[in-house]
Structure 1
Amino acid sequence: MIRLAIVSGKGGTGKTMVAAALADISTVPQVLADCDVDAANLELLFDTRRLTTEEFRGLEVARIDLEQCRDCGICADHCRFGAIVRRNDAWEVDPLHCEGCGVCTYVCPTGSARMEQRVCGEIYTSVTDRGNLAHARLFPGSGNSGLLVSEVRKRATGLADGADLLLADGPPGIGCPLIATISGVDAVLIVTEPGVSALHDLERLVTVCRRFDVQIFVAINRFDLAEDICKRIEDYCEKEGIVVAGKIPFDSSVVDAVRNGRPVTRSDSAATDALRALRDNLFSELGLR
């Protein structure tokens, strides 16, 4: 099974649009994973039926046992994040400010402060009209999104029986969620756009991806909005030996498709033609038929 991650150096490049389009016109059995857990929306573009829902417990948070607490306030004095506050004439932990460092448990003379795992999100498996989907939702203010991405990857692998392709919609940027997404994949498709910041972020992302020994491909979305910068991106890719698998023109039908909650490839358009060419080039390079 080929594991392919669709990623981007910055948000707003059209990464999820490309991922949904490739999933929609894929010619091989596949399983999908939405690894952009901070803003997962791949399911919005397909007919989805939920199979399972699990709690995700990530970062630990402090809790004070009021029955043991002597009201000394030592924990509050040592908390650098202001997470231990005075409410109703007692000390308690504000979970939105607690960073899980555990200092309060170390300094508490009575053992009243304890670390407990908290529910940080939910992990889902679903059936779509284009294959099984593993996805998740990270609750606002919660951390450990990289760990949640790893859990999504595990669920997708569990759903992959008989699949020739695992297609993951990754997060933007180069942080922990991106690392968890591309670890162990065979190839990445970087979706970029003709902008100075996008080119800079593309260069950073390529540097990170090369440390994971994966095949790297590039797709340039809205390439015709700034063809001079598009040429700079192509020159950079040629210099680095990276295949530009496709160039997608600006097309208002893409906006219409997203507004209507469907992949753009379900209607005829210039963008659809370009995305089909992208699929053909990419699948040929990956040995998928």
Structure 2
Amino acid sequence: MKKLTVISGKGGTGKTTVTANLAALADNLILADCDVDAPNMHLLMKPKVIEAEVFKGAKVAVKDQLKCIECGLCKELCNFKAITSDFKVDEIRCEGCGLCVAKCPSDALKLELEETGDLYYSQTKFAPMVHAKLKIGAENSGKLVSQVKEKAESLAQQEEKELLLIDGSPGIGCPVIASINGVDSVLVVTEPTKSGLADLKRVLKTVKYFNLPAVVAINKYDLNQEISLEIESFCRQNQVKIVGKLPFSKVIVEAMQQGELVVESAPESKVTTAIKELWEKVSCDLKLKG
């Protein structure tokens, strides 16, 4: 089984759109949406949920009122002001550090896992899909990403799939690191803007730190040929292969408005041809059989 993660340096580059269209072209795969903070893949893939489970990824202090002697030590020690004036735990402020639990003289406090998201196993018209959604304001998105990825890897092995295609998060934070950990290749989708180039450099530096092979696709490359050439020059100087240059096209917008993928709705369009060429290069690099 080969594992490919698609990421971007910033939001809005078209990362998820590219990933979804690659999923439509690929064979024998499992799809994983590891952008748990702001998942969008389900909007394009229209998955039918088969299984759902609660994700408990954070701890919060819970007080046993009968044991509490209201000494006020927990309120005094808490750096997050999570203990109220009447010695109750404010779950929103609590960071689950455990200091109050360790120091409570009457053992009235303990840490408990709280529900911070949901994990789904679904079926799409192209492939099975593992995805999740973190609750608003919840933390530990990196841990949820790891769970999505682990479940997807397990399913891919059980069903003898050839490819695990992962839609990662934008940026370089913990969710991104969790989504690229242990994969065979990273596809970075960028755009021809100054911020796109700056973020591409940060992302490639992160990928290089983990000693992972990376390739680049420039989306909407023809909107700013000058910066596209800058991106190509940077990649060439750093020995990073550019596997795709996708043109700007209204047919992508029209397809999304209809809830469709452009490779299906406009199979003869220039952008579909470019996406197919991108997939051919990526699948060749991964040595996929399909």
Per the normalisation by structure 1, the TM-score is 0.94
Please say which of residues 270-279 and 254-263 is displaced more in the overlay.
Answer: 254-263
RMSD of equivalent CA atoms: 1.4
1:103-126 CA distance string (max 9 Å, x none):
211332212121111111111111
2:199 aligns with: 201
2:95 aligns with: 99
CA distance in 2, matches of 1:22, 1:189: 11
SS at match of 1:37: coil
Query: Where is the strand percentage greater, Structure 1 or Structure 2?
Result: 1
2:177 aligns with: 179
- The answer to whether 1:122 aligns with 2:118 is yes
1:210-248 CA distance string (max 9 Å, x none):
233322110001111111111100001111111111011
1:95–1:231 CA distance, 2 compared to 1 (3 A): same
Letter in 2 for 1:281: K
Letter in 2 for 1:285: D
- The answer to whether 1:79 aligns with 2:86 is no
Matches within 5 A, 1:259-278: 259-268=257-266, 269-278=269-278
Matches within 5 A, 1:55-66: 55-66=54-65
Aligned-pair CA distance for 1:40: 1.5
Per the normalisation by structure 2, the TM-score is 0.94
1:142 aligns with: 138
CA distance in 1, matches of 2:123, 2:154: 13
Q: Which runs of 5+ in 2 are unaligned?
A: none
2:213 aligns with: 215
CA distance in 1, matches of 2:104, 2:92: 21
CA distance in 2, matches of 1:147, 1:222: 33
CA distance in 2, matches of 1:279, 1:99: 43
CA distance in 1, matches of 2:192, 2:68: 59
CA distance in 2, matches of 1:5, 1:200: 20
CA contact (8 A) 1:64 1:91 kept: no
Aligned-pair CA distance for 1:271: 2.0
CA distance in 1, matches of 2:77, 2:227: 52
1:185-223 CA distance string (max 9 Å, x none):
000100000111111111111111123332211000111
1:113-151 CA distance string (max 9 Å, x none):
211111111111111111111111111121111111111
CA distance in 1, matches of 2:262, 2:95: 41
Letter in 1 for 2:272: T
Matches within 5 A, 1:236-247: 236-247=234-245
CA distance in 2, matches of 1:72, 1:54: 39
Aligned-pair CA distance for 1:33: 0.5
SS at match of 1:236: helix
CA distance in 2, matches of 1:57, 1:47: 25
CA distance in 2, matches of 1:272, 1:97: 48
Aligned-pair CA distance for 1:277: 1.5
Letter in 2 for 1:116: E
Q: Aligned residue pairs: how many?
A: 285
SS at match of 2:276: helix
Q: Which runs of 5+ in 1 are unaligned?
A: none
Letter in 2 for 1:12: G
CA distance in 2, matches of 1:140, 1:103: 25
SS at match of 1:282: helix
CA distance in 1, matches of 2:50, 2:41: 16
Aligned-pair CA distance for 1:34: 0.5
CA distance in 1, matches of 2:102, 2:46: 50
